[in-house]
């Protein structure tokens, strides 16, 4: 024992001042991190027993962390040098990505005018409190599946599986917040269809039937079940918080029976007819309409739309369809070359069938533009289950809380729930299609745009870099 003690004293005396400073900083960071992670779950403080190991890296150096630096073979030394750098980077990225922030790229136009296709976001996980991962053994920066060039397959191991727990944050999602969350209907997906609007199993099941899906695996792909933290990431605007009553009547959102004023970025699809001139690409671009959202309707289709939907459209005039905000519509209405502007009715495109919308029940006749009323469940709240509200809340009990719900009995919600919608109201896959978002699906809050790529024109949108994401 005296020999070890003398050796320890010698190592401590030989340690340079810079090493002591680095040791103090990293030990303080480690202690603070463990206390934060252990908050409310104090058994995790046992990780503090590894503090001497952290100190050993800088002071005593009993563990030969850098043994490879003694390798004399230059080629082998170079290989281990790269391995050491890569391992350190992966470990650092793993913890940063889990507990502090992550990158998110806007893939669609559901929040167009607020967040645009090609925007890269810095998403703060600390804002709402970082989640302890359900699947801790996973590859950093890969959500659920390795790319094909790496062989495909799952990027995570399902066991061990940790229960949902959220670390202390700065608050909860509020109305008007833009929020990144895991896709609620992404617990069960058809892998060949998950990039499409109806790619989740529940929507496909409602429209085509479960047996049809399983009988055509070549078309739909394997039906895969994923844990919460391995589901696709979505970004939408929070419209209703726990306890809020939400209803949509003819596109107007009502919260607690009061009309919710549209955010300036909210837009709807419109049929636009001119007096005879054709709208140029330059005109459309100046108006603020993206190429992907701009559509031209031929004469035969205009005739069919006018007849089937009873709309005052003239088949002989140039007709277009694209989304506009209130300000864009007012600007276009003032143009003398515009004959008429009509908001797209929900019957256009066949989006009136209740089975396509939450709660996927034909007895609940809710649609894209006329939805609810529905009250956002609040954690600890107890309701009496009736035949009417059973259809509305059944999925919450079965898929998110894994508790039985029976008509005639009381049910107490285990989590808070939020209503998320895209600003591009007629082109957004949001809560109207899969219902309230559980708190355990909340990932974080976008803070700013760190890069913006214009995929239509090419190049970088320099004016958007380092601008606020919450607008």
Selection from 172, 184, 187 nearest residue 238 by Cα: 172
pLDDT score for 236: 94
The DSSP string of 222-237 is -EEE--GGGSPEEEEE
The string of pLDDT tens digits covering residues 133-172 is: 899 888 888 888 888 877 778 889 988 888 898 988 899 9
Q: Which of 121-125, 299-303, 398-402, 426-430 has the lowest mean pLDDT?
A: 426-430
Q: Which among 93-97, 107-111, 292-296, 336-340 has the top mean pLDDT?
A: 336-340
pLDDT score for 338: 94
| Alpha-carbon distances, residue 297 vs 26, 264, 313, 321 (angstroms) | 63, 27, 11, 7
Q: Which of 6-15, 148-157, 207-216, 367-376 has the lowest mean pLDDT?
A: 6-15
Alpha helices in 57-200 (DSSP H): 74-99
209: left (phi over 0), alpha (psi -120 to 50) or beta: left
Q: What phi and psi values does residue 119 have, to the nearest 5 degrees?
A: -75, 135
Please check the confidence at residue 63 and state whether its pLDDT lies above 70.
yes
- Which contacts (CB < 8 Å, 24+ apart) does range 349-357 have? 355/206, 355/207, 356/198, 356/203, 356/206, 356/207, 356/433, 357/432, 357/433
Please check the confidence at residue 314 and state whether its pLDDT lies above 60.
yes
pLDDT score for 250: 93
The string of pLDDT tens digits covering residues 247-268 is: 999 999 999 999 999 888 899 9
Q: Please compute the mean of the pLDDT values over residues 344-361 and round it to a whole number.
A: 76
Q: Record the tokens describing residue 414, joined without a space.
A: 């285990």
| Angle, vertex CA 248, rays to CA 247 and CA 251, nearest 5 | 165
| DSSP SS3 for 437 | strand
Residues in CB range of 413: below 8 A, 6 or more apart? 377, 378, 379, 380, 381, 382, 383, 396, 401
- The conformation of residue 354, written as its DSSP 8-state character, comes to G
Mean pLDDT, the chain, as a whole number? 87
Please check the confidence at residue 1 and state whether its pLDDT lies above 60.
no
pLDDT score for 171: 93
Is the CA virtual torsion 138, 140, 145, 148 positive or negative?
negative
């Amino acid at each position: 024992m005296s020999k070890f003690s003398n050796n320890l004293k010698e190592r401590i005396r030989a340690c340079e001042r810079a090493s002591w400073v680095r040791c103090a900083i990293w030990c303080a960071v480690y202690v603070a991190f463990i206390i934060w992670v252990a908050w409310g779950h104090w058994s995790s403080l046992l990780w503090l027993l590894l503090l001497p190991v952290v100190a050993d890296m800088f002071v005593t150096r009993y563990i030969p962390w850098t043994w490879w630096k003694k390798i004399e073979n230059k080629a082998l030394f170079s290989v281990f040098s790269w391995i050491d750098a890569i391992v350190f980077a992966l470990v650092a990225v793993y913890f940063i990505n889990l507990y502090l922030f992550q990158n998110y790229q806007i893939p669609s136009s559901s929040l167009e005018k607020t967040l645009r296709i090609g925007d890269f976001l810095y998403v703060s996980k600390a804002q709402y409190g970082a989640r302890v991962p359900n699947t801790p053994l996973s590859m950093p920066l890969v959500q659920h599946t390795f790319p094909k060039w790496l062989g495909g397959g799952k990027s995570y191991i399902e066991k061990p599986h940790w229960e949902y727990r959220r670390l202390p944050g700065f608050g909860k999602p509020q109305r008007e917040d833009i929020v990144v969350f895991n896709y609620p209907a992404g617990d069960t997906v058809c892998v060949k269809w998950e990039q499409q609007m109806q790619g989740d199993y529940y929507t496909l099941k409602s429209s085509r039937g479960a047996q049809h899906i399983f009988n055509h695996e070549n078309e739909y792909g394997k039906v895969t079940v994923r844990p919460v933290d391995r589901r696709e990431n979505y970004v939408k605007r929070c419209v209703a918080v726990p306890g809020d009553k939400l209803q949509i009547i003819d596109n107007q959102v009502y919260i607690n029976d009061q009309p919710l004023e549209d955010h300036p970025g909210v837009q709807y699809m419109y049929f636009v007819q001119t007096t005879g001139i054709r709208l140029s690409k330059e005109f459309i671009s100046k108006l603020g309409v993206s190429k992907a959202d701009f559509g031209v309707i031929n004469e035969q289709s205009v005739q069919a739309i006018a007849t089937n939907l009873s709309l005052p459209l003239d088949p002989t005039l140039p007709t277009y369809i694209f989304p506009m905000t209130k300000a864009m519509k007012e600007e276009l209405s003032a143009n003398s070359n515009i004959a008429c502007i009509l908001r797209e009715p929900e019957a256009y495109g066949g989006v009136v069938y209740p089975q396509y919308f939450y709660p996927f029940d034909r007895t609940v006749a809710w649609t894209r533009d006329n939805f609810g009323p529905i009250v956002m469940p609040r954690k600890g709240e107890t309701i009496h289950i009736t035949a009417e509200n059973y259809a509305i809340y059944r999925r919450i009990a079965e898929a998110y809380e894994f508790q039985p719900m029976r008509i005639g009995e009381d049910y107490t919600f285990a989590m808070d729930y939020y209503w998320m919608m895209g600003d591009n109201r007629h082109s957004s896959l949001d809560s109207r299609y899969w219902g309230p978002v559980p708190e355990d699906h909340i990932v974080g809050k976008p803070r700013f745009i760190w890069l913006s790529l214009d995929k239509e024109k090419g190049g970088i949108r320099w004016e958007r870099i380092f601008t606020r994401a919450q607008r």
